[in-house]
């Protein structure tokens, strides 16, 4: 566990973020590996099917993950205040909530998969492949929630390293199983889904066993978990806006897919492949924001607003440097990266155009996401929810629809940085207003600045 309430702010945030970056890059390789192997061995339609499944899966889990993030902040703030009994209550409560939600979502996702894919106007050549992949993927919902819930709890306690080791093993297993199921067993896109489900489920089981022997605050046992209504209420108060925010983002991804499906299957395949690269490129900024959340949570719990201010600026500087470096790499070598996913010239061409346009504005994304992380850590999640709603549904989606009808798929690509710009401006203005200072769950008589 790590105490963020003393020591050099930049060093603490960087050391905490580094395992997060590595771990989340490994987690992205679940999707990357599926996409590369599927695109190379099963073709363009299969690649489009795998990519079209993710926004639907994300839509189903977004609200639950948002509530879970509220529990992470509650854990972080109580840990900063040294109230370990409340920490244990929050941990048990979030596990019960996530597992119950996982069962419900698995049933709903499998039952309505065909109707959902029809709603986003998936092509007839892609539909059966997408349903096959998605159905298997949903089977692994409990393993997904279990592992990610555990990782979120550990981050709230200041530990970003432990999940990294299990993710590394899971990623290696996923790659081997992908090759086995797709190339050797010939299971098609369902094989890619089974590889991910088995690898991630194994990572959760291994993590649970490890925690029972090594961590005094977390003893993974269903019998030991208890649901505390007040703790859950606090988690919902903080996490509900983030849950809605994540849901807006997920529905926005589905809306974008629906617009993209007005074009040929190669355009969807190009978007899927380029988006995989984009997800890795933006990961460092996202993880710096997550690290800042844990940092802010503990220091708000300890009433150290001076450290929060210094931590925010240090994180912004790191995120800016990383974003500029990643932008150069993606612009210079984006064409070669696209060739990893497909040999179809039009897929490579359209995907490279996406990367050039979007990566040129990574600095906007990094600034926006760092501020989102800061506000989440403070428990101030309502205003960011509205900012996301505006930037996505009033800016990005209408611009994508309008421009795509006039300049083709490039109009969709240009809509993405337009949304980032509005999001960045909105989050910065709210941070400067100082309203987030009163959102913590640990109340202090005097809030020092």
Q: According to the model, what pLDDT value does residue 221 have?
A: 66
Alpha carbon distance 11, 66 (integer Å): 28
Quote the pLDDT of residue 411.
96
DSSP secondary structure, 173-205, as one string: HHHHHHIIIIIIS--THHHHHHHHHHHHHHHHH
The DSSP annotation for 87-110 comes to HHHHHHHHHHHHHHHHHHHHHHHH
Say if residue 17's pLDDT is above 70: yes
Residue 440 has a pLDDT of 59
- Tell me the three state secondary structure of residue 43: coil
Sign of CA dihedral 10, 304, 297, 249: negative
- Give the rounded distance of the alpha carbon of 433 from its chain centre: 27
> What pLDDT score was predicted for residue 273?
92
Select from 296, 289, 285 the least CA-distant residue to 379: 296
pLDDT confidence bin for 446, thresholds 50/70/90:
very low
Report how far Cα 330 is from the mean position of its chain's Cα atoms: 20
- pLDDT above 70 for 447: no
User: What's the rounded Cα separation, in Å, for the pair 8 and 24?
Assistant: 24
Cα–Cα distance for residue pair 399/418, rounded to 1 Å: 8
- 3 state DSSP class of 439: coil
SS3 35: helix
Element at 313 (helix H, strand E): helix 305-339
**CA 229, CA 242: separation in Å to the nearest integer?**
19
DSSP character at residue 445: S
pLDDT of residue 445: 52
Q: Check pLDDT > 90 for residue 350.
A: yes
**Is residue 217 very low, low, confident or very high in pLDDT (cuts 50, 70, 90)?**
low
Q: How far does Cα 293 stand from its chain's mean position?
A: 14
State the Cα angle at 389 between 140 and 149, rounded to 5°: 30
Contact yes or no for 182/41 (Cβ under 8 A): yes
% helix, strand, coil for the chain, step of 5: 85, 0, 15
In whole angstroms, what is the distance from residue 119 CA to residue 254 CA? 9
Q: Percent of the chain at pLDDT above 90?
A: 43
CB 94, CB 234: distance < 8 Å: no
Residue range 293-313: mean pLDDT, rounded:
86
Total Cβ atoms within 10 A of residue 20: 24
Residue with more model confidence, 353 or 205: 353
Contacts of 206 (CB under 8 A, 6+ apart): 166, 169
Distance CA 12, CA 302 (A): 16
How far does CA 141 lie from the centroid of its chain?
15
CB 302 within 8 A of CB 79: no
Of the candidates 302, 446, 320, 424, which has an alpha carbon nearest to the alpha carbon of residue 375?
424
pLDDT category at 448 given cuts 50, 70, 90 is: very low
pLDDT of 359-375, one tens digit each? 999 999 999 999 988 98
- d(CA 381, CA 371) in angstroms, rounded, equals 11
What is the DSSP secondary-structure string of 108-176?
HHHHTHHHHHHHTT--TTTHHHHHHHHHHHHHTHHHHHHHHHHHHHHHHTT--SHHHHHHHHHHHHHHH
Tokens of 390: 């505006």
Please give the share of the chain, as a percent, with pLDDT higher than 70: 94
Contact 260, 412 (CB under 8 A): yes
- Identify whether the C-beta of residue 355 lies closer than 8 Å to the C-beta of residue 334: yes
């Amino acid at each position: 566990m790590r105490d963020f309430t003393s020591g050099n702010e930049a060093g603490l945030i960087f050391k905490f973020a580094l395992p997060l970056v590595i771990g989340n890059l490994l987690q992205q390789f679940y999707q990357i590996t599926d996409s590369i192997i599927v695109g190379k061995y099963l073709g363009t339609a299969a690649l489009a099917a795998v990519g079209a499944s993710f926004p639907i899966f994300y839509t189903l889990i977004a609200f639950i993950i948002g509530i879970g993030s509220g529990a992470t902040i509650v854990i972080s703030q109580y840990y900063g205040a040294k109230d370990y009994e409340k920490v244990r209550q929050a941990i048990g409560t979030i596990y019960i909530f996530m597992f119950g939600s996982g069962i419900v979502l698995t049933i709903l996702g499998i039952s309505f998969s065909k109707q959902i894919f029809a709603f986003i106007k998936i092509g007839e050549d892609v539909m059966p492949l997408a349903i096959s992949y998605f159905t298997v993927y949903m089977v692994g919902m409990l393993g997904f929630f279990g592992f990610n819930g555990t990782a979120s709890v550990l981050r709230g306690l200041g530990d970003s390293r432990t999940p990294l080791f299990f993710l590394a093993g899971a990623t290696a297993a996923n790659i081997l199983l992908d090759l086995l199921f797709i190339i050797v067993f010939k299971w098609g896109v369902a094989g890619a889904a089974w590889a991910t489900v088995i690898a991630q489920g194994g990572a959760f089981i291994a993590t649970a066993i490890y925690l029972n022997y090594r961590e005094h605050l977390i003893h993974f046992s269903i019998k030991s978990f208890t649901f505390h209504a007040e703790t859950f209420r606090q988690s919902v108060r903080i996490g509900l806006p983030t849950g809605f925010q994540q849901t807006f983002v997920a529905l926005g991804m589905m809306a974008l897919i629906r617009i993209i499906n007005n074009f040929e299957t190669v355009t969807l395949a190009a978007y899927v492949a380029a988006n995989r690269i984009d997800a890795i490129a933006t990961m460092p900024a996202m993880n710096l924001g997550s690290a800042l959340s844990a940092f802010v949570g503990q220091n708000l719990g300890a009433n150290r607003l001076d450290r929060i201010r210094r931590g925010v600026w240090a994180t912004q500087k790191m995120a800016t440097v990383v974003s500029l470096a990643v932008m150069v790499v993606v612009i210079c070598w984006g064409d070669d990266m696209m060739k990893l996913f497909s040999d179809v010239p039009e897929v490579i061409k359209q995907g490279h155009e996406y990367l050039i346009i979007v990566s040129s504005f990574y600095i906007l994304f990094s600034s926006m996401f760092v501020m989102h992380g800061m506000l989440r850590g403070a428990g101030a999640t309502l205003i960011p929810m509205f900012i996301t709603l505006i930037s996505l549904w009033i800016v990005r989606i209408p611009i994508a629809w309008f421009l795509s009808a006039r300049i083709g798929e490039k109009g969709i690509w240009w809509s993405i940085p337009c949304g980032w710009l509005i999001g960045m401006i909105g989050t910065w203005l709210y941070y400067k207003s100082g309203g987030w200072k009163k959102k913590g769950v640990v109340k202090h008589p005097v809030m020092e600045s």
